Amino acid sequence: MRITAAPLWLAATNCYVVSAEADGPAVVIDAPPDVGGVRELVRRSGAKPVALLLTHAHLDHLGGAGGVAAAYQIPASLHPDDRWLADDLTGQVRMLMGFDDGGEYGGTDRYEPLADGQVLELAGLRFRVMHTPGHTPGHCCLWLEEQGVLFSGDHLFAGSIGRTDLPGGDYTALMGSMAEQVMPLPPETHVLPGHGPATTLARELATNPFLQALHR
């Protein structure tokens, strides 16, 4: 398996291009509002996107979805509980920045729905969808069980968890889905988050104060 990644846009959002082979079909995970950056990442990977999977609908993860989907003529997938966020990207800009910065942000007219427990067979890989609400109502992590890799979006970070103080955030829900969905995964699972460095579940179970509190 090959994973090509880069932090893009103002929020340094990690965008991933995942493929079974270096020059084969690929899945793009998250689309920051830097379509040119995503396209350069795809070019570097040498792979050919066949799908766009969105962990959640915050601007820094979905603001380039329309441009990416159009550039490669691929479907974009999102959990339906986040559609209200996807449909108001301009409102998100005002909320997060305090003003409309004049940037070009765009989702798509249609999203393929993600559902908890769904297995997506894409690009020669099997992505299991894990609905992990809390950061947003429709947040999802994506688990490659055979490869031992979890794309955790803004649910779990190295040393921390996603913020829950934005509209739709719910700390209790986040901690509940963490305990039910993420913590039972194999400790050797590699965690690739939406921001910051990669980590492992074992490291987070041993050092992350939020996971330690749940463990106790």
pLDDT in tens, the chain (216 residues): 999 999 999 999 999 999 999 889 999 999 999 999 999 999 999 999 999 999 999 999 999 999 999 999 999 999 999 999 999 998 888 877 666 665 668 899 999 999 999 999 999 999 999 999 999 999 999 999 999 999 999 999 999 999 999 999 999 999 999 999 999 999 999 999 999 999 999 999 999 999 998 876
pLDDT at 215: 73
Q: Reading across the β-sheet that carries 149-153, which strands appear in turn?
A: 119-122, 125-131, 140-144, 149-153, 190-193, 199-200
pLDDT at 213: 86
Structure-block tokens of residue 112 = 């393929």
Q: Which domains does the chain have, with CATH numbers?
A: 2-215 (3.60.15.10)
- The answer to whether the beta carbons of residues 82 and 57 sit under 8 Å apart is yes
Q: Which distant-in-sequence residues (6+ apart) come within 8 Å of 28 by Cβ?
A: 15, 16, 17, 18, 38, 42, 49, 51, 52, 53, 68, 72, 74
pTM, 2 dp: 0.96
Q: What are phi and psi of 29, to 5 degrees?
A: -110, 115
Structure-block tokens of residue 175 = 């901690």
Amino acid at 38: V
Structure-block tokens of residue 62 = 């979905």
Structure-block tokens of residue 128 = 């299991």
